[in-house]
Amino acid sequence: MLNNVIIFVLSAFLGTEVLSKVPQTLHTPLMSGANAISGITLVGAVVAAGMTGNAWASWIGFGAVVVATINVVGGFMVTDRMLQMFARKKSGTPSDVDAAKAATSTNGTA
């Protein structure tokens, strides 16, 4: 038990140090990539919840499944919002876009 607490505390300090060194411009892409890894946490929570015969441990496992699901879904929602910021904006009607495209692609001929 003491070994697990020591590993948890050390990993918390290490995670804090690593994440504090990440520039702000890379934070969102890094987190969206790490979101896929969070799916592994969800699978582990499902396995942990189903492997025990103790009711208390099953409830804790169920809580882990709920929290991991919120993490994964929320991460994908943030990623989708981020990608929408960089999406090209649709402008005008299709005939306006085709007319503008035809006007610019004449190669100097009338």
Q: Is there a contact between 38 and 76 (Cβ–Cβ < 8 Å)?
A: no
Whether 37 has a pLDDT exceeding 90, the answer reads: no
Residue 92, pLDDT score: 56
* Number of helices followed by number of strands (H, E) in the chain: 4, 0
pLDDT category, 10, cuts 50, 70, 90? Answer: very high
Can you spell out the DSSP letters for 4-58? HHHHHHHHHHHHHHHHHTS-HHHHHHHHHHHHHHHHHHHHHHHHHHHH---HHHH
- If residue 92 lies in a helix (H) or strand (E), which one and from where to where? none
Mean pLDDT of 9-34: 79
- Return the percentage of the chain with pLDDT > 90, whole number: 3
Residue 12 and residue 20: Cα distance in Å, rounded? 12
Whether 72 has a pLDDT exceeding 80, the answer reads: yes
Written as six digits, the tokens of 45 are: 């929570």
Average pLDDT for the chain:
76
Residue 22 and residue 37: Cα distance in Å, rounded? 18
Residue 75 and residue 28: Cα distance in Å, rounded? 10
